Amino acid sequence: MKFPQFSMLPFLMVVVMLSLSGTTLSHPHWDFLHCLSLRLANYSTISKVIYVQNNPSYSSVLNASIHNTRFSTPATPKPFAIITPLKTSHVRSTLYCSKKHGFQLRIRSGGHDVEGLSYVSEVPFVILDLLNFRAIKVDTKNEVAWVQSGATLGELYYAIAAKTNTLAFPAGMCHTVGAGGHFSGGGYGTLFRKYGLAADNIIDARMIDVNGRILDRKSMGEDVFWAIRGGGGNTFGIVLAWKIKLVPVPAVVTVFTVNKNLEQNATKIFHRWQYIAHKLPDDLFMNVWITKVNSSQVGMKTVQATFRGMLLGGVDELITLIQDKFPELGLAEENCNEMSWIESVLYFGGLPLQSVDILLDKNALPTLSLKAKSDYVKEPIPESGIEGLMSMFLEEEADNAVAMIPAFGGKMDDIPENELPYPHRAGNLFEATYIVQWTKEENAESGKYISWSRRLYSYMTPYVSKSPREAYVNYRDLDLGINNNDYTSYEQASIWGFKYFKNNFKRLVQVKTKVDPMNFFRNEQSIPPLLSPWKKKGN
């Protein structure tokens, strides 16, 4: 890359800005700012793009996309600068200057990484925050769309629904999740039994590689295009935008919720569900949530299994289907609701059904502190095993815990394991994501919640996938192992790598070795190149 020299003026403005705010900076920090300000052309751009600590907006820009307040404490390592590029050249400049001056780069889109990897690092780092890369172009005629990485799923769904009520996109259920990280790890929601993962429906992408080259599917080649659709973020390059294939949905879908607590045979019904749900038609999505709730006896608690789902069809068809295949659920018309697909997004997102505009609101739901872990289940869990799982939810630490258990099968059974990096396809009855949550005020006691999640995970060992015990990379779990910062070995990374990717891990390592042999794009669980270079301490 060759960059023209601009005048010193913009940089001097930054110097003034910093000295006014009382920041003291060491040499590499100055050098980085100097490098970047030279390339951003003028002060007006600089003030919109560079946020250093002590800039009055730094903290709000940092917090705006933190979706796990476990990583929003005074002790959490903070980036020396947050860069919010307005255009592609700013992204390239940030990449160039952080490489040149030895700062780690953390790419952030929606900021939902459950281990905070997009905004926390143990070494000096900057955040490349794609909050201004949120454009979405929907082409209903060709049934495709381009979506920039910083856009949220809510913004994407909203943009599709603004044009048509018979096209959709099969991605996650939480409206504030970002396309950038979500698509990079697979991504699924209520349409995945019909159409597969979000990543299965990506047909092109625009990416910047470590050398600053802007690539599309053709110029990056099929290996890299394969790897970025599920191999995890912050690893192969900076994905700026994705071209996605839209999928047909009927104008009317039917959603339903049935709650069963322990006194209402929740254990038995969930046990039965395991034999049935994965074999139901792919037009049906069904998810079980296990949570602690108030019992009908005042002051007592029980555990509830919430069976929530959606049929791509009408209510009569749904009731007939469930009465035939799963009568134990006792589904009745009052549990069901016909609506448009976009309204179902609100329903599954836990949002009020009044107005779809709320999909554009990133603060519609409160942010908590959380720890997540995940499993895949291939054999039905015996009733005694479910009883133990249920009783763990009665423990004190589980007040705000949930096990989210979507049935697999359908289209997921038809896609070969090596089609994309995401390998958890045929043979899975369901996935289970365990999330334990607490408030920011309770962060000092986070240890007790995290150890509850570890005890639950350990309890589940006999009932879940083995050799490897598979896990979903989008619910990253650093308990599975991390890369050393100064040297990343293939062997060490294999421990978690095979859990997330099974044999696809090997191909991911090959691709990484080709596109980023010096391992510039890295985090605690990024794919290492085969012969990972040693890093100087602190870089």
Ligand X SMILES: *[C@@H]1O[C@H](CO)[C@@H](O)[C@H](O)[C@H]1NC(C)=O
Ligand Y SMILES: Cc1cc2nc3c(=O)[nH]c(=O)nc-3n(C[C@H](O)[C@H](O)[C@H](O)COP(=O)(O)OP(=O)(O)OC[C@H]3O[C@@H](n4cnc5c(N)ncnc54)[C@H](O)[C@@H]3O)c2cc1C
Q: Is 475 labeled as catalytic in the residue annotation?
A: yes
Q: Does 188 bind ligand Y (CB under 6 A)?
A: yes
Rule CB under 6 A: is residue 261 a binding residue for ligand Y? Answer: no
Closest CB 380 distance from ligand X, rounded Å = 17
In angstroms, the CA 482 to CA 365 distance is 31
CB of 489 to ligand X, least distance (A): 35
Is-contact 381 396, C-beta < 8 A? no
Positions 94 through 123 that interact with ligand Y (CB under 6 A): 106-114, 117-118
User: Residue number with the shortest CB distance to ligand Y?
Assistant: 233
The footprint of ligand X on this chain (CB under 6 A) covers a number of residues equal to 12
List the one residue from 63, 140, 355, 461 that touches ligand X (CB under 6 A): 63
Whole-angstrom CA distances from 368 to 298, 439, 440, 464, 513 are 27, 5, 6, 28, 37
Least Å distance, CB 414 to ligand Y, is 19
Q: Which of 119, 457, 463, 475 is catalytic?
A: 475
d(CA 157, CA 162): 9
Beta bridge partners of 107: 128
Which positions ≥6 away from 429 have C-beta within 8 Å?
Answer: 274, 277, 278, 377, 378, 379, 380, 407, 408, 409
Rounded distance between C-alpha atoms, residue 307 and residue 329, angstroms: 8
CB 214 within 8 A of CB 88: yes
* Residues 129 to 168 in contact with ligand Y, rule: CB under 6 A: 130, 149
- Nearest CA to 519 among 479, 486, 480? 486
Among 85, 154, 170, 187, binds ligand Y (CB under 6 A): 187
Contact code string over 345-364 relative to ligand Y, x by CB under 6 A: --------------------
Binding pattern for the stretch 294-313 against ligand X, x by CB under 6 A and - elsewhere = x----x--------------
439 lines the binding site for ligand X (CB under 6 A): no
Q: In whole angstroms, give the CA distance from residue 203 to residue 144.
A: 9
Phi, psi of 442 (to 5 degrees): -90, 10
Binding track, positions 451-480, relative to ligand Y; x by CB under 6 A = -----------------------xx-----
* Residue 189 CB coordination number (10 Å): 25
SS3 70: helix
Nearest distance, CB of residue 474 and ligand Y, angstroms: 4
Amino acid identity for residue 117 in this structure:
L
- Minimum separation from the CB atom of position 5 to ligand Y (A): 29
Note the residues at the interface with ligand Y (CB under 6 A).
Answer: 67, 106-114, 117-118, 130, 149, 172-174, 177-178, 180-182, 184-185, 187-189, 233-234, 238-239, 474-475, 523
Q: Where in the sequence numbering do the catalytic residues fall?
A: 475
